[in-house]
Amino acid sequence: MKAAAEFGADSKRLLEARADFGAVSSALPPKNDDGLDVVLRIGAQSCEFSVGRIGECEGAFSIETGCLLLGEEFWHLDPPGAEALSQAVSVVRAHLDDVARELPTVKEATRMIGAGGSILTAAAIELGAYDVARLRHFELTRAAAEDVFRTVATEARSDRAYNPGLAADRVDTIVAGALILVTTLRHFGWSSCLISERDLLHGV
């Protein structure tokens, strides 16, 4: 077990992050280098980062913001508006600075894998349908993720509800989820996100 400081305060969430990594990494396609993988799962109240190589999680960290919490804090208009989005990005960046400080190996990762509903939904919007077979190991580029974010962030909720690939239970949280995804990709300089349909439930 790593030192508690490496994993942050909430041991339950960090155990979940380790389970995420085990579930996701066990089904990953091969890669061309022996670099580290980082798995990001965007939850409602928090986001979990886990780093390692296939079959072995070397570290994890949890940040206390998620797609529901962030939206409740900043979305007071429909659509949210530029000022609210900018404030939300600043908050997420501050949390990502914590990730980089407490889990420094995250900056060494050569592949970023996304798990959880928000990230799968962003990829489904890009694909135009929520099709698990097509989503499995789909590579969502940063440019495509940014396009998805711009689209959902500038639509009113009533229009967003008709967006292909967007399930009804994600209409209210996808803007914040996409914002967290895009901000993370930008912050660490990753060019894409490999989509995993596996997550905590598979790990448990």
- What are the mean pLDDT values of the chain's consecutive 10-residue runs (204 residues total)? 41 79 84 89 94 88 94 94 97 97 94 95 96 94 98 96 93 97 98 85 43
Confidence at residue 151, expressed as pLDDT on a 0 to 100 scale: 96
- Please state whether the peptide bond connecting residue 79 to the residue before it is cis, i.e. omega within 30 degrees of 0: yes
Instruction: Say which amino acid occupies 147.
Output: D
What distance lies between CA 46 and its chain's CA centroid?
A: 10
H helices present in the chain, as ranges: 4-7, 11-25, 67-74, 82-102, 117-127, 132-135, 142-154, 157-160, 174-188, 200-203
**H/E segment holding residue 58:** strand 56-63
Give residue 26's pLDDT.
Answer: 79
CATH class of residue range 4-203 = alpha beta
Cα 61 to Cα 79: distance, rounded to the nearest angstrom = 31
What pLDDT sits at residue 14? 77
47: helix, strand or coil: strand
pLDDT for res 199: 58
